Chain A
Amino acid sequence: GAGVSQSPSNKVTEKGKDVELRCDPISGHTALYWYRQRLGQGLEFLIYFQGNSAPDKSGLPSDRFSAERTGESVSTLTIQRTQQEDSAVYLCASSFAAGANVLTFGAGSRLTVL
Chain B
Amino acid sequence: DQQVKQNSPSLSVQEGRISILNCDYTNSMFDYFLWYKKYPAEGPTFLISISSIKDKNEDGRFTVFLNKSAKHLSLHIVPSQPGDSAVYFCAASDGGATNKLIFGTGTLLAVQP
The chain A residues found within 8 Å of chain B, CB to CB, are 4, 31, 33, 35, 40-45, 48, 50, 56, 59, 91, 93, 95, 98-108
Contacts and interface: CB of A to CB of B under 8 A. Distances in A.
Contacts of A105: 36, 43-45
B28 interface: no
Interface centre among B2, B100, B101, B106 (most CB of A within 10 A): B100
**Could you say which interface size class chain B belongs to?**
20 to 34
B41 A33 contact: no
A45 B105 contact: no
B63 interface: no
Contacts of A91: 43-44
Q: 3 closest Cβ contacts across the A-B interface? A: A105-B43, A43-B103, A42-B105
Nearest to A35: B103
A42 B99 contact: no
Given A56-B98, A101-B93, A102-B34, A42 B43 contact: no
Contacts of A41: 105
B100 A33 contact: yes
Contacts of B101: 43, 45, 101, 103
Contacts of B4: 42
B62 to A, nearest CB: 15
B32 interface: yes
A105 B34 CA distance: 14
Given A59-B100, A101-B32, A101-B34, A43 B95 contact: no
6 contacts: A33-B100, A42-B6, A43-B101, A43-B103, A101-B34, A107-B43
Contact of B46 (A42, A59, A102): A102
B25 interface: no
A58 to B, nearest CB: 8
Contact of A48 (B42, B89, B98): B98
Nearest to B32: A101
Given A102-B46, A107-B41, 10 more contacts: A42-B103, A42-B106, A99-B97, A101-B34, A103-B101, A105-B36, A105-B43, A106-B43, A107-B42, A108-B43
